[in-house]
Amino acid sequence: MGSPVIGVFDSGFGGLTVLKALLEVIPNAEYLYFGDTARLPYGSKSVETVARYACEATRYLEQQGAELLVIACNTATALAFDQIKNTASVAVVGVIEPGAERAAVSSRSGKVVVIGTEATTCSHAYRHALAAREVEAHEKACPLLVPLVEEGWVNHPVTEEIARIYLNEAFSDGFRSADVLLLGCTHYPLLKPVLQRAAPAGVTLVDSAESTAMAVRELLSSTLAMATRAKKDQVKFFVTDSTDKFRRLGRLFLGQEILDIAHVDLKE
Amino acid sequence: MGSPVIGVFDSGFGGLTVLKALLEVIPNAEYLYFGDTARLPYGSKSVETVARYACEATRYLEQQGAELLVIACNTATALAFDQIKNTASVAVVGVIEPGAERAAVSSRSGKVVVIGTEATTCSHAYRHALAAREVEAHEKACPLLVPLVEEGWVNHPVTEEIARIYLNEAFSDGFRSADVLLLGCTHYPLLKPVLQRAAPAGVTLVDSAESTAMAVRELLSSTLAMATRAKKDQVKFFVTDSTDKFRRLGRLFLGQEILDIAHVDLKE
Residue A71, SS3 per DSSP: strand
Nearest chain A CA: its distance from B112 CA (Å): 24
* Cα gap A260→A90, rounded to integer Å: 24
Task: Name the residue facing A161 among B37, B144, B158 (closest C-beta).
Answer: B158
Contact criterion met (CB below 8 Å) for A83 and A29: no
Q: What is the pLDDT of residues B64-81, one digit of tens each?
A: 999 999 999 999 999 999
* Cα gap B69→B153, rounded to integer Å: 31
Listed in sequence order, the residues at least 6 apart from B240 whose beta carbon sits closer than 8 Å to its beta carbon are A49, B35, B36, B37, B38, B39, B263, B264, B265, B266
Q: With 80 as the cut, is the pLDDT of residue B116 above it?
A: yes
The sheet with strand B235-239 has its strands ordered as B91-93, B68-71, B5-10, B30-35, B235-239, B261-263
Number of Cβ pairs < 8 A linking chain A and chain B: 60
Looking at residue B265, what is its pLDDT?
86
Q: What is the pLDDT of residues A80-134, one digit of tens each?
A: 999 999 999 999 999 999 999 999 999 999 999 999 998 899 999 999 999 999 9
Q: What percent of chain B has pLDDT over 70?
A: 94
Question: Confidence class of residue B153 from pLDDT cuts 50, 70 and 90?
Answer: very high
Is-above-0.80 flag for pTM? yes
With an 8 Å Cβ cutoff, are A46 and B165 in contact?
no
Exposure string of B84-113, with b = 16+ CB inside 10 Å and e = fewer, is beebbeeebbbbbbbbbbbbbebbeeebbb
Is the ipTM higher than 0.85? The answer is no
Q: Which residues of B touch A40 (CB under 8 A)?
A: 44
Looking at residue B34, what is its pLDDT?
96
Contact criterion met (CB below 8 Å) for A221 and A197: no
* Cα gap B33→B15, rounded to integer Å: 9
Least confident range from A70-79, A253-262, B150-159, B227-236: namely: B227-236
* Cα gap A143→A203, rounded to integer Å: 22
Q: What is the pLDDT of residues B120-131, one digit of tens each?
A: 999 999 999 999
Look up B55 and say whether it is catalytic: no
Q: Which residues of B touch A241 (CB under 8 A)?
A: 45-46, 49
Catalytic residue set of A? 73, 185
Residue B114, SS3 per DSSP: strand
Q: What is the mean pLDDT of residues B8-23?
A: 94
With an 8 Å Cβ cutoff, are A46 and B241 in contact?
yes
Q: In 3D, which of A13, A28, A74, A44 has the Cα closest to residue A234? A: A28
Mean pLDDT of chain A: 92
Which CATH code, of 3.30.70.980, 3.40.50.1370, 3.40.50.1860, 3.40.50.1820, is assigned to B96-208?
3.40.50.1860
Q: What is the pLDDT of residues A19-74, one digit of tens each?
A: 999 999 999 899 999 999 988 888 778 889 999 999 999 999 999 999 999 999 99
* Cα gap B194→B207, rounded to integer Å: 14
With an 8 Å Cβ cutoff, are A245 and B44 in contact?
yes
Task: Name the residue facing B38 among A49, A161, A242 (closest C-beta).
Answer: A49
Is A122 an 8 Å CB contact of chain B? no
A 125-184 residues with CB < 8 A to B: 143-144, 146-148, 150-151, 158, 161-162, 165
Is A245 an 8 Å CB contact of chain B? yes
Question: Confidence class of residue B38 from pLDDT cuts 50, 70 and 90?
Answer: confident
Contact criterion met (CB below 8 Å) for B90 and B62: yes
Q: In 3D, which of B224, B241, B232 has the Cα closest to residue B260? A: B232
Q: What is the mean pLDDT of residues B229-233?
A: 60
Exposure string of B176-204, with b = 16+ CB inside 10 Å and e = fewer, is eebbbbbbbbbbbbbbeebbeebbeeebb
Nearest chain A CA: its distance from B143 CA (Å): 7
* Cα gap B187→B175, rounded to integer Å: 24
Listed in sequence order, the residues at least 6 apart from A205 whose beta carbon sits closer than 8 Å to its beta carbon are A180, A181, A183, A192, A195, A196, A199
- For residue A124, is it left (φ>0), alpha (ψ between -120 and 50) or beta? left
* Cα gap A175→A167, rounded to integer Å: 11
Is B82 an 8 Å CB contact of chain A? no
Residue A244: count of CB within 10 angstroms of its CB: 11
Residue A177, SS3 per DSSP: coil
Looking at residue A226, what is its pLDDT?
47
| CA angle, residues B149, B102, B189, in degrees to nearest 5 | 10
Domain A5-95+211-263 and domain A96-208, same fold? Reply is yes
Q: With 80 as the cut, is the pLDDT of residue B1 above it?
A: no
With an 8 Å Cβ cutoff, are A147 and B150 in contact?
no
With an 8 Å Cβ cutoff, are A46 and B242 in contact?
yes
Who has greater pLDDT, A228 or B259? Answer: B259
Q: Tell me the CB-side half-sphere exposure of residue B49, using CA atoms within 13 A.
A: 27
Q: Which residues of A touch B44 (CB under 8 A)?
A: 40, 150, 245
Contact criterion met (CB below 8 Å) for A240 and A266: yes
The sheet with strand B180-183 has its strands ordered as B136-141, B111-116, B180-183, B204-207
Listed in sequence order, the residues at least 6 apart from B50 whose beta carbon sits closer than 8 Å to its beta carbon are B42, B75, B76, B79, B80, B119
**Residue A241: DSSP 8-state:** S
Q: With 90 as the cut, is the pLDDT of residue A3 above it?
A: no
Q: Which residues of A touch B165 (CB under 8 A)?
A: 158
Q: With 90 as the cut, is the pLDDT of residue B182 above it?
A: yes
Who has greater pLDDT, A264 or A225? Answer: A264
Nearest chain B CA: its distance from A99 CA (Å): 26
Task: Name the residue facing A158 among B38, B45, B158 (closest C-beta).
Answer: B158
Q: In 3D, which of A79, A227, A158 has the Cα closest to residue B164? A: A158
Is B55 an 8 Å CB contact of chain A? no
With an 8 Å Cβ cutoff, are A148 and B144 in contact?
yes
Task: Name the residue facing A143 among B150, B240, B241 (closest C-beta).
Answer: B150
* Domain range annotation of chain A: 5-95+211-263, 96-208
**Residue B176: DSSP 8-state:** T
Architecture of domain A5-95+211-263: 3-Layer(aba) Sandwich (3.40)
Question: Confidence class of residue B268 from pLDDT cuts 50, 70 and 90?
Answer: very low
Q: Which residues of A touch B245 (CB under 8 A)?
A: 44, 46
**CA distances to A103, B74, B100, B151 from A92, in Å:** 21, 40, 51, 33
Q: What is the mean pLDDT of residues B32-49?
A: 88
Is B243 an 8 Å CB contact of chain A? no
With an 8 Å Cβ cutoff, are B241 and A158 in contact?
no
Question: Confidence class of residue A233 from pLDDT cuts 50, 70 and 90?
Answer: confident
Who has greater pLDDT, B223 or B149? Answer: B149
Q: With 90 as the cut, is the pLDDT of residue B86 above it?
A: yes
**CA distances to A23, A29, A58, A220, A257 from A7, in Å:** 13, 10, 8, 14, 19
Contact criterion met (CB below 8 Å) for A113 and A182: yes
Is B122 an 8 Å CB contact of chain A? no
Domain B5-94+211-263 has CATH 3.40.50.1860: yes
Question: Confidence class of residue A268 from pLDDT cuts 50, 70 and 90?
Answer: very low
Q: What is the mean pLDDT of residues B188-204?
A: 97
Contact criterion met (CB below 8 Å) for A100 and A59: no
Burial label for A197, CB within 10 Å (0-12, 13-18, 19+), is exposed
Query: In Å, how far from its chain's centre is CA A57?
Result: 16
